[in-house]
């Protein structure tokens, strides 16, 4: 006996918009978006202070990005650190003494006479086994020698550790902002593109970290992807906040593709 097959047809429904949200929802979404925006600005400030002057020059540049991941193959990890992220902890004259010692081959005799007192005064509070931090031990020549070699940039182990944290963390932030942004009233192609763009930018940015480790030219990809992420989030947050509080009624725009 033939069995009839019936196709269930879902009723057409209009998607919810911000003007359909309650005041409590609007307050919730606005608070989250403002907090996410502030957090992103703080992240930019942190990135600037972390990468600034890595190449020995003031300001953030492509060379700073490249040197962080690819390294300064003409120098050492220690020299890159004291001229970059650790520059604020050591005086200029002391940095010059350390750089001169490194260029002379980092002899042990000179270390005990000139360099060790500098590290004892400036560095061993953190750079010692007693601190419990995952940093090189500067209390001995053997510990310093580990970073007194050619600088090949951040290690693959560190990249993998930071990348998986960023993929989880930033991915969840992108999801949260996107869930709010979906209530906006925009042309479908623009809304879909702007929803997808942060995820593409995050993937491209973190992939470029590993590529820059292989070839410094990919530092440009890091900057471009980071810029696209910031631009897409800025647009999502700004448009959402505007429509949350100022879009009062549904304008007649004809048929709308919300698929």
Nearest to 122 by CA among 92, 145, 102: 92
Mean model confidence pLDDT for the chain: 85
List b or e across 35-61, with b for residues whose CB sees 16 or more CB atoms inside 10 angstroms.
ebbeebeeeeeeeeeebbbbbbeeebb
Count: domains in the chain: 2
Q: Is residue 95 part of a domain?
A: yes
- Both 137 and 217 in one domain: the answer is no
Task: Please indicate, yes or no, whether residues 158 and 242 belong to a single structural domain of this protein.
Answer: yes
- Does the predicted model carry a pTM greater than 0.85? no
Q: Which domain holds residue 242?
A: 18-52+154-246
Query: Of the candidates 80, 113, 145, which is a domain's last residue?
Result: 145
| Alpha carbons 210 and 217: distance in angstroms, whole number | 12
Same domain, yes or no: 171 and 212: yes
CA 108 to the chain's CA centroid: 38
Angle, to 10 degrees, between the axis of helix 156-181 and the axis of helix 23-51? 150
Instruction: For 26-64, write each residue's pLDDT tens digit.
Output: 999 999 999 999 999 999 998 888 887 776 677 788 888
Residue 28 CB contacts under 8 Å (≥ 6 apart), including other chains: none
Model confidence at 151: pLDDT above 90? no
* Res 258: pLDDT: 47
| Rounded percentage of the chain residues whose pLDDT exceeds 90 | 44
């Amino acid at each position: 006996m033939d069995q009839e097959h019936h196709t269930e047809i879902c009723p057409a429904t209009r998607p919810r918009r911000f003007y359909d949200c309650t005041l409590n929802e609007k307050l919730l979404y606005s608070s989250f978006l403002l907090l996410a925006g502030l957090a992103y600005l703080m992240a930019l400030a942190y990135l600037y202070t972390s990468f600034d002057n890595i190449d020995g020059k003031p300001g953030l540049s492509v060379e700073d990005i490249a040197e962080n991941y690819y390294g300064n193959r003409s120098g050492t990890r220690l020299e890159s650190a004291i001229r970059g992220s650790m520059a604020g902890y050591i005086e200029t004259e002391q940095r010059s003494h350390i750089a001169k010692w490194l260029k002379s081959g980092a002899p042990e005799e000179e270390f005990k006479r000139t360099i060790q007192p500098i590290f004892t005064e400036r560095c061993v509070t953190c750079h010692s086994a007693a601190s419990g931090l995952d940093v090189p031990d500067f209390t001995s020549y053997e510990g310093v020698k580990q970073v007194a070699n050619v600088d090949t940039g951040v290690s693959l182990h560190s990249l993998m550790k930071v990348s998986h944290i960023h993929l989880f963390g930033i991915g969840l932030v992108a999801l949260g902002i996107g869930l709010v942004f979906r209530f906006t009233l925009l042309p479908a192609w623009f809304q879909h593109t702007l929803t997808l763009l942060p995820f593409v930018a995050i993937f491209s940015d973190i992939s470029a970290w590993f590529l820059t480790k292989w070839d410094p030219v990919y530092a440009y990809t890091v900057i471009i992807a980071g810029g696209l992420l910031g631009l897409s989030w800025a647009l999502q947050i700004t448009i959402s906040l505007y429509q949350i509080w100022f879009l009062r009624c549904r304008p007649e725009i004809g048929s709308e593709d919300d698929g």
